[in-house]
Structure formats: C-alpha cells, structure tokens
Structure 1
Amino acid sequence: MPLPDLEAWAIFAKIAETGSFARAAAELGLSDATVSKALKRLEARLGERLIHRTSRRFSLTETGRVLAVRAAQILAEGEAVEAEAQAKGTLPRGKIRLAAPMSFGLRHIAPALPEFFAAYPEISIDLQLDDRIVDLVTGGIDIALRIAELPDSSLIARKLCPVRRFVVGAPAYFARHGTPQSPRDLKDHACLTYSYLATGTTWRFTDHTGNDESITVKGPLCATNADALSAALEAGLGIALQPDFLIWEALETKRLVVALEDWSAPPLALNLVTPGGGPRPPRISALIDFLSRRFTAGSAAWTRVLG
C-alpha cells in the first residue's frame, strides 16, 4: 500500500482553513498551480471531490468538511514535529492563533503582548476577540482563553484564576433608587444585561449560609459585550452583574459600588484551553507559560486589588 500523500493533506488543510487557493499558496510559500495540483492529486486518490469550485467561489463538500478536521490535525502534527526538531538553540518562531473574549482581550491580553513580543520576536499572534465560543479545531485556534466553568471535553484546560461577579451600580443610581438588600429586590431595579450569560436574564446568587435565590431581571440595555454596559452603568442608568476584571478600577475610584455584598454569584474561572493530543510546538508552550504567569491568582492586577 503506498504511503499517504502528506503534502497534499497539509495543502488541503490550509485551503480549508484560509478559504482560498491563493491565500493557502501564499501562506505555504507555494505557487497557485502547485496547490491546485495537490488537491487534484488528493481527490483522484480518494475517488471523490473535496471541494466544489467555480471561477468565483468554492465550498467544501460533505466529505471535505469531515476530512478537513483530520487534515488540520495532520498539518498541526507536522508543524509541531518540525518545530520541536528545530527548537534546540533557536528562539521559538511562527504564528499562533489566540482566541479570547472581547473585553478581556482588549483590557488585559492586548496590553500584555508587547512584553511577550520583546521576549519572543520571532513569534507572531493572530488575536481573535469574540465573546462567542469558537470550536478550536475547526477554527484553527491554537490557544483560547475562556471565562466559564468548563464542561468535560477532549480539550486540555488549565484554570488560571477565579473570576468573581458583582452586582454594581453608580452611587447616584443607588441614591435615587435605593440599594437592593436581597436578590428578590432586583425585580424593582433597572438591570443592564449581558446577552451571552449562560442563564440568560436569570441571575443566581448564594448567601453565606448556602441559601440560593434566582431572579429574572429586566432593564433598558442588553449587549453582546459586557464592556458595552460600562457607560450606562457609570451614568446611573441601571445596575449590572459584572466580572471583577472589568470593574476593579471603577470600584477603586468609587465610580461604581457593590450591592448585595452578602450574596455571591456562581463562581467562574479564567481558563486556558488548547486542542488535545500531539506534541506542542515551542511557540505554543512559550505563550502558555507567559499567559499562565500573567494571569494566575495573585499575579493578575484585579486579583491583587480585590483580594
């Protein structure tokens, strides 16, 4: 039985990832003709099409969509093996695709990157900021930061630090409308909500004795990004359930204050997640180590201030 055409599989993976023959050729440093021939060679070997293509566009066939995931794994394995072999005596190099939630990425990841690039000038990062959960394998993501309590999965996860959430509002808001003393009081308040909250518009709390309360809230603003609530919060238009990494500076300067101090929202965590299996290229290990040092409990700025 002939050996698998690993080059063609790797080229197919890059075509599927970039969505373009030309972009795949550019990233791989190959000619358009070489990329096209490799795909034709692979399709002939398999006996079916992997891509529907016309002069204007292309789309993966059903078989192509299934095999693109496996092809991406083949490409990643090959890159990792070569990177490991080249690692001795050289700086880590290459591109890393890093995904993070929008607000956390803007406030904490992006400001940290100059320090990382100073230490690793041969590494480049494709930073993808989105509050929606992306599939690491099909999205070609090397590392993701996720703020959640993660379910069991085939992904490799490392918990970096806890993320606490507080009900907060501007002092002027509480002066006008009063301060809620228990979660049930929230039904009488204007609540600014986050669209991707796992429980929707239901906020859940536990007190120090273990009593649980849930309340469905409503208000004038709902947003797909928690940072988008900040201006309305500080203007006194309502109150919100916000993560500590987003509000710690506003709490320090008294622009916001905490309500329901005797009640806690279910804890979350900042997790570093990578696809499972295979050797890890040095560039990936370098960024994982950097992020782990930067955002473990006690190292992250908001955990030092809020305790």
Structure 2
Amino acid sequence: MPQIDDLVLFTQVIEHGSFSKVAELNNITKSVVSKRVSKLESELGVQLIYRTTRKLTLTEPGEVLYHRAKDIRQVAHSAFDAVTGYSEALSGHIRMSVPTISGEMLLAEAVSDFCTKHPGMTVEMSLDNEFVDLLSENIDLVIRTGYLEDSSLIARHIFNSRWQICASPGYIEKHGMPMTPKALQHHNCFGYNKQSTGAFDWLFTRNGEIYTVKVAGNFASDNAAALRKAALAGNGLAYLPTCLIYDDLQQGKLVTVLPEHTGKVVGIYAVYPYTRKPAKRIQALIEHIRERYLAIQERF
C-alpha cells in the first residue's frame, strides 16, 4: 500500500515543479525524492509524471491523484491541531445547529458520544435545515452542506459526503439490478427537488469525469428522508447520502446500485464565528464528527 509520505512528496514535486527544490525543502537528496515518486508509481501501477530535462508534466492518472491529494498536508495539519492537547480535560458548553437529517441519523449519536468521552462537556444541538445567524443566536458551531460566503464566519471543509443509489432487495428481485447508468432509464427513479441541477439529473463518474444521466420516476420530494421511505417500501430507486441509509445498508433493508459509477459528492462544512482560532473544545468536536463520517464512508 502506498505511503502517505510518498504521496506528500509527489504533491510537493508538482507544486514546485522540481525534484531538487523538494529535496531542499525536506533536507534529503534529489535521488531519494525521485526514487520515492518512482516507488509510488510502481505501487499504483501507473505512470504519474512525464519527466524531461526541461519540465515535469502530469499524466492523466497523475492529474487525478494530484487533485485528490493536494490538500492532504492541510488536512493532516488541521487534524493534528484539532487534537493537540486532546488528552487535556475538555470542559464548557457548545451550542450547535445541524441539518435535520444529519442530526436524526448520525450527529445525535456522534455528539452524545463526544459528551460521554468528555464529562466536563455539555452540548445543545438544534436541528434546522435553514442557515442560522450564529452571532445573534449565540451559536458556537454549525454543520452544513455547501460553502458559505460570509466574511464574518469561517467555513472549514471537514468531509466530502458521498451519495449512493439504493433500492430494496424486493424491488431488485422484481425489476432486476441495473448494470449501467443508462439502464436506469428503464427503472422508477425518485427525484430530489433540492438539487440545483434538476430533481431527476443523477451524477455519475467515468474516467475521472462527472456526467449527468436524466432519469425519470413517479415520485419526487425535497426531503431525503421521504425518498428513503419510498425506497424502503420497494417502490423505486433513490440517490441518497450514505449517512442517511447507513443502517439500512448494514441491515440489508437497502442495497447499493451501481456503486462504482456514482459520482455525487457534497461538501460538509463546519461553520463558526470568525476568530483567530476556535476554542479547543470546538476543534475537538469538529474532529470527532469528521472521524464519524469517515468511519461510515469507509465501509461503503
């Protein structure tokens, strides 16, 4: 399995355009940098960089890897900052606002677990799908999807939520398992009205590129929980966030459809008032929530 350190070196080589510069930055030799990038290519089984005497050029697999991995150092530093002094006793009160679905399906358990781990902490969590005014309502932390344009607030990206197409085993037994995205046009697919691209425009990935397939169905809603209920009833296919259907997948009440093709990813953000650095208890809670999302995503 490729080493994270080699991946970091690879991203540095691309950013600085030079093996020599990266060698200087890391106090190692140029040959070591070259060997570790070559090792990464060997382990992945693809060429990542075209090397010439004048410049370095990314291959197509290299482009994909770089864009997925370029923030790895920032994420790592944020994670380390969040848990610095984590063993110290955390105390205090946090008022937070989260989306209704996330609160009901995932965050209520995650946040209560956090309080159990830190007896000195109390958290008051409100469920609201509309964005709240943090300052006037004295809210310490908000979890939301989508980026926020507000200079008085900080929106820290904590995770990309992957969505899954799902159906009940009964529906699949009756109508068959679609083997390609195009085959969905012969199935009853539920629409999600809150999609800016259109309720029945489903996103897929091919060769690293996102494309849309227009599906159709007899039911649509602006509430993901309603679509989940319709899928559980065996009435069609739904495209939903993994955290919402996690338990259903675990229990076999729903099964994933075309998991290798799905391409819908939604950013999850922690939003808090602008300060130089949030309180340690808020950093720790954000990291705890991020770890919970990751644990679920890694299973599917």
Counterpart-to-counterpart distance in 2, 1:138 and 1:219: 42
- Structure 1 pair 141–214 and aligned structure 2 pair: CA distance change class (3 A): farther
2:290 equivalent to 1:295: yes
Counterpart-to-counterpart distance in 2, 1:295 and 1:278: 21
Shift of 1:248: 2.5
Partner of 1:271: 269
Counterpart-to-counterpart distance in 2, 1:197 and 1:300: 24
**Mapping of 1:188-199 within 5 angstroms?**
188-199=186-197
Partner of 2:129: 131
**Mapping of 1:55-134 within 5 angstroms?**
92-94=91-93, 96-118=94-116, 120-121=118-119, 123-134=121-132
Work out the percentage of aligned pairs sharing the same amino acid: 27
Counterpart-to-counterpart distance in 1, 2:251 and 2:89: 46
Partner of 1:243: 241
- Contact 2:202 2:214 (C-alpha < 8 Å) held by counterparts: yes
Secondary structure of 2:113's match?
helix
Secondary structure of 1:107's match?
helix
Counterpart-to-counterpart distance in 2, 1:199 and 1:159: 22
- Structure 1 pair 130–187 and aligned structure 2 pair: CA distance change class (3 A): farther
Counterpart-to-counterpart distance in 1, 2:106 and 2:145: 13
Partner of 2:299: 305
Partner of 1:286: 281
Give structure 1 stretches of 5+ with no counterpart. 1-88
Give the structure-1-normalised TM-score.
0.58
- Contact 2:115 2:123 (C-alpha < 8 Å) held by counterparts: no
Partner of 1:179: 177
- Structure 1 pair 206–151 and aligned structure 2 pair: CA distance change class (3 A): farther
- Structure 1 pair 288–193 and aligned structure 2 pair: CA distance change class (3 A): farther
- Structure 1 pair 261–122 and aligned structure 2 pair: CA distance change class (3 A): closer
Partner of 1:48: none
Shift of 1:237: 0.8
Give the structure-2-normalised TM-score.
0.59
- Contact 1:207 1:264 (C-alpha < 8 Å) held by counterparts: no
Cα deviation code 1:147-167 (max 9, x no counterpart):
33x255423222323211111
Secondary structure of 1:254's match?
coil
Partner of 2:209: 210
Shift of 1:271: 2.0
Shift of 1:252: 2.9
Alpha-carbon RMSD across the aligned residues, in angstroms, is 3.0
- Structure 1 pair 138–192 and aligned structure 2 pair: CA distance change class (3 A): farther
- Contact 2:95 2:138 (C-alpha < 8 Å) held by counterparts: yes
Number of aligned positions between the proteins: 211
Secondary structure of 2:209's match?
coil
- Structure 1 pair 211–100 and aligned structure 2 pair: CA distance change class (3 A): closer
Shift of 1:246: 1.7
- Structure 1 pair 140–228 and aligned structure 2 pair: CA distance change class (3 A): farther
Secondary structure of 2:132's match?
coil
Cα deviation code 1:210-253 (max 9, x no counterpart):
362231533324142x2233332122111100111122232233
Larger Rg: 1
Give structure 2 stretches of 5+ with no counterpart. 1-87
Counterpart-to-counterpart distance in 2, 1:200 and 1:140: 35
Partner of 1:258: 256
The residue identity in structure 2 corresponding to 1:205 is F
The residue identity in structure 2 corresponding to 1:214 is V
- Contact 2:177 2:257 (C-alpha < 8 Å) held by counterparts: yes
- Contact 2:248 2:254 (C-alpha < 8 Å) held by counterparts: yes
| Bigger mean CA offset, 102-111 vs 259-268 | 259-268
